[in-house]
Amino acid sequence: MKKTPVAKTLPIVHYPDPILRKISQGLTEKEIVSQKIRDLAFDLEKTMLEKDGAGLAAPQVGENVRMVVLRHDNQSLFLINPKITKKSRGKITEQEGCLSIIDSSGEIIYHPIERHKKVTCLYFDLKGKKKKIQAEDPLLARAIQHEVDHLDGILFIDYLEPNKK
């Protein structure tokens, strides 16, 4: 395997850029283990850490592919082709923000959003291995729901009442 180049910080795509509204492409097994996707994964991670985000999806850096990175327990969790297969009946409302949704002074906008408390998610890791995560922690479950939404062109503001948008 080639040496991994030093990760770069990528510019964030902001609402209302149409890139954020596209349905992102699933990755093939071959693509998952390609150098291009590996590089993108570490660039995504670096960008998330630099912006102090809890997660970042590939379309937020202009790549419409189904990959997200999450910060959990001080570690980065890469989810490729993630699919939420189970959602708890229980829901919880918390403040939510997004690196792509900022006000005119560049500050992140927060709103209370209702999400499922727990989710189960199937995904592939960076080695192309099939994995499953059962997110019992509502914060992690929220992050997974928020980031997977990005891959389907959905933004958290879509859940707001029309008069709050």
Q: Which residues bind Zn ion (CB under 5 A)?
A: 98
DSSP 8-state code for residue 102: B
Q: How far is the CB of 51 from Zn ion (least distance, A)?
A: 11
Which residue of the set 29, 63, 147, 161 is catalytic?
Answer: 147
> Among residues 33 and 154, whose Cβ is nearest to Zn ion?
154
Residue nearest to Zn ion (CB): 98
Q: How far apart are CA 125 and CA 32, in angstroms?
A: 8
Are the CB atoms for 118 and 141 separated by under 8 Å? yes
147 is catalytic: yes
Q: How many CA atoms lie within 13 A of 150 on its CB side?
A: 36
Q: How far is the CB of 146 from Zn ion (least distance, A)?
A: 6
Q: How far is the CB of 98 from Zn ion (least distance, A)?
A: 3
The kind and range of the H/E element at 148 are: helix 138-151
> Among residues 92 and 157, whose Cβ is nearest to Zn ion?
157
> Among residues 4 and 110, whose Cβ is nearest to Zn ion?
110
Handedness of CA 15, 142, 126, 122 (dihedral sign): negative
The catalytic residues are 147
